[in-house]
């Protein structure tokens, strides 16, 4: 039997990537707005070899329309992460800090106004189509 | 010709001045950043002298610029991309071609680091590119208070707006391509505002600011800009681009030439015309 020269691996499955957390919140938004507002998570690479992930809002009633709600930049190890949302830029060094900042952005009056504006347009178009 | 007026009115009730500018220059599309007049009052003033009534053309969730037009409402397509600081939608004038109209009021440099402003320009460029791909139209015009000068990194970076000073370079080099393997291409803009610095064409800019007092400071700035894609170059005549200093009755500048923020706004209005008529050789 050859010797095992590999290190002991600790599974990281319990770690949730920032993109996964956005996808979870996207699913909640769809449910909370009865499908009027949807959120999509779009991932790309950034200039520094890390990830750039966008959270885009839309509606099935508004065709190709997308509102760029927030943008994350993070390395393959997930942290440190930069979160850009409207006029705000914040940084997180771990999952707990990111959760706190994401909570703050999604729960903000800015997000509420944007989602309500999309809902209002979607309802108006839905009514006009009916 | 379709005539556009953009003005950051700094939340001032300038409806009479705006109406005089619209009448004097036969403006079709009015774009106001930091609007200071309620919609009803502004439309009442605009429509006093106009045979074709102005209507507000709403965006979905973008609120930093208001759009009014006397073109039929059906000329404006629904917004395809929005962010807090910009919105992108299509415009097709009667018997004309369809263009993408990107409208922006980017964050103030007083509250942002230069690197953050560069990122905002990058996001705007990215969204314009995605909108162009989705609607399969690259006849894009970007108008707004970009809150950076044409020489800012975000304006010149290929991942930013990639906007250069002369149309021949845009004709020759657009799109710019980098890398031998895994080539990436970057669309360019022509930025005619480069021709509006200093004494070459009065006034020396659109915005004057001298209170931050950094050691490197141009004082006069050209923050209010119009940028054009290659496909619109032959529809734009630089002689039809003006930074306005008077509405015909009231001067918008002080005796020393700086914007009169007391009587009007700290920004000067931007006026330009585009020939959007369908041509015999134009199939799209």
Name chain B contacts of A87, Cβ cutoff 8 Å. 84, 107, 111-112
Q: Flag if A67 and B78 touch (Cβ within 8 Å).
A: no
Q: Is the pLDDT of residue B139 over 90?
A: yes
> Alpha-carbon distance B132 to B125, whole Å?
11
Q: How confident is the model at residue B212 (pLDDT cuts 50, 70, 90)?
A: low
What's the average model confidence in pLDDT over B131-156?
Answer: 96
Q: Do the chains contact at B82 and A71, CB–CB below 8 Å?
A: no
> Does residue B127 belong to the interface with chain A, where contact is any CB pair within 8 Å?
yes
CB contact under 8 A, A84 and B119: yes
pTM of the model: 0.93
Compute the count of residue pairs across chains A and B with CB atoms less than 8 Å apart: 46
pLDDT 10s digits, B82-107:
999 999 999 999 999 999 999 999 99
pLDDT at A49 > cutoff 90: no
Give pLDDT, residue B220: 95
User: How does residue B109 score in pLDDT terms, banded at 50, 70 and 90?
Assistant: confident
- Residue B79 has its nearest CB partner, among A47, A65, A113, at A65
**What SS3 class is residue B101?**
strand
What local confidence, expressed as pLDDT, does residue B183 receive?
Answer: 81
b/e map of B164-192 (b: 16 or more CB within 10 Å)? beebeebeeebeeeeeeeeeeebbbbbbb
Per the CB < 8 Å rule, is A65 touching B135? no
Rounded distance between C-alpha atoms, residue A61 and residue A124, angstroms: 9
Torsion-angle region of residue B162: left (phi > 0), alpha (psi -120 to 50) or beta?
A: left
SS3 A36: coil
The end-to-end CA distance of chain A, in Å, is: 72
Task: Give yes or no for B77 touching A (CB within 8 A).
Answer: no
A 5-44 residues with CB below 8 A of B? none
**Interface contact B159-A47, CB threshold 8 A:** yes
Q: What is the arithmetic mean of pLDDT over A67-80?
A: 94
Q: Any chain B CB within 8 A of the CB of A52?
A: no
DSSP class of residue B106 equals P
CB-CB: which of A87, A89, A114 is closest to B61? A114
Give percent of chain B with pLDDT exceeding 90.
85
pLDDT interval class at B281 (50, 70, 90)? low
Taking the C-alpha atoms of residue B212 and residue B209, their distance in angstroms, rounded to an integer, is: 8
What's the pLDDT at A12? 62
Chain B nearest-CA distance from A83, in A, is 12
Contact residues on chain B for A63, CB-CB shorter than 8 A: 78, 80
CA dihedral A84, A101, A47, B223 (to 10 degrees): 20
Please say if the pLDDT value at position A63 is more than 90: yes
Separation of CA B266 from chain center = 17
**In the predicted model, what is the mean pLDDT of residues B220-226?**
97
CA–CA separation, B174 and B186 (whole Å): 8
Q: What is the pLDDT of residue A47?
A: 76
Contact between B7 and B29 (Cβ < 8 Å): no
Residue B280 has pLDDT above 80, yes or no: no
The residue among B52 and A65 whose pLDDT is bigger is A65
pLDDT for the residue B52 = 86
Q: Residue A64 in contact with residue A72, Cβ under 8 Å?
A: no
Burial of B283 (0-12, 13-18, 19+ CB in 10 A): exposed
| Cβ separation B60–A113 shorter than 8 A | no
Whether B282 has a pLDDT exceeding 70, the answer reads no
Does the CB of B175 have a partner CB in chain A at under 8 Å?
no
Instruction: Please write the tens of the pLDDT for every residue from B6-61.
Output: 999 999 999 999 999 999 999 999 999 999 999 999 999 999 977 789 999 999 99
Burial of B123 (0-12, 13-18, 19+ CB in 10 A): buried
Inform me whether the C-beta atom of residue B136 falls under 8 Å from chain A C-beta atoms: no
Predicted pLDDT of residue B283: 52
Task: Tell me the C-alpha distance between A43 and A19, whole Å.
Answer: 8
CA pair distance B245, B263, nearest whole angstrom: 12
Contact assignment for A62 to B159 by CB distance below 8 Å = no
Q: Which of A32-36, A123-127, B26-30, B239-243 has the lowest mean pLDDT?
A: A123-127
Q: Residue B271: enclosing H or E segment and its boundaries?
A: strand B270-274
pLDDT at B279: 83
pLDDT at residue A13 tops 70: no
Range B173-197 average pLDDT = 91
């Amino acid at each position: 039997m050859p010797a095992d020269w590999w290190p002991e691996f600790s599974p990281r499955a319990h770690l949730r990537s920032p993109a996964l957390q956005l996808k979870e919140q996207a699913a909640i938004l769809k449910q909370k707005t009865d499908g009027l507002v949807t959120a999509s998570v779009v991932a790309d690479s950034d200039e520094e070899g890390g990830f750039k992930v966008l959270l885009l809002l839309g509606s099935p009633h508004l065709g190709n329309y997308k509102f760029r709600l927030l943008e994350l930049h993070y390395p393959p190890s997930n942290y440190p992460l930069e979160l850009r949302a409207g006029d705000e830029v914040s940084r997180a060094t771990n999952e707990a800090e990111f959760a706190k900042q994401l909570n703050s952005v999604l729960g903000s009056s800015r997000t509420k106004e944007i989602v309500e504006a999309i809902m209002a347009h979607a309802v108006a178009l839905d009514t006009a189509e009916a | 010709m379709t005539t556009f007026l953009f003005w950051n009115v700094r939340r001032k009730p300038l409806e009479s001045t705006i109406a005089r500018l619209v009448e004097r220059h036969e403006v079709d599309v009015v774009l106001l950043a930091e609007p200071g007049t309620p919609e009803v009052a502004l439309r009442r003033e605009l429509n006093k002298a106009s045979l074709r009534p102005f209507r507000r053309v709403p965006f979905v969730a973008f609120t930093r610029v208001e759009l009014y037009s006397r073109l039929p409402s059906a000329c404006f397509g629904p917004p395809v991309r929005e962010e807090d600081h910009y919105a992108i939608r299509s415009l097709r004038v009667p018997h004309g071609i369809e263009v993408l109209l990107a409208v922006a009021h980017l964050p103030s440099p007083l509250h942002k680091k230069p690197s953050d402003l560069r990122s905002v320009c990058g996001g705007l460029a990215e969204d314009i590119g995605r909108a162009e791909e989705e609607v399969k139209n690259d006849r894009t015009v970007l108008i707004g208070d970009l809150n950076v000068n044409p020489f800012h990194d975000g304006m010149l970076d290929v991942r930013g707006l990639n906007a250069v000073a002369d149309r021949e370079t845009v004709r020759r080099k657009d799109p710019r391509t980098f890398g031998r393997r895994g080539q990436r291409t970057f669309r360019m803009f022509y930025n005619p505002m480069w021709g509006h610095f200093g004494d070459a064409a009065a006034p020396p800019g659109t915005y004057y600011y001298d209170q931050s007092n950094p050691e490197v400071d141009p004082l006069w700035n050209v923050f209010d800009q119009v940028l054009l894609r290659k496909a619109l170059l032959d529809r734009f005549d630089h002689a039809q681009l003006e930074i306005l200093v008077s509405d015909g009755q009231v001067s918008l500048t002080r005796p020393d030439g700086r914007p009169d923020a007391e009587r009007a706004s700290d920004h000067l209005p931007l006026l330009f015309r585009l020939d959007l008529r369908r041509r015999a050789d134009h199939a799209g």
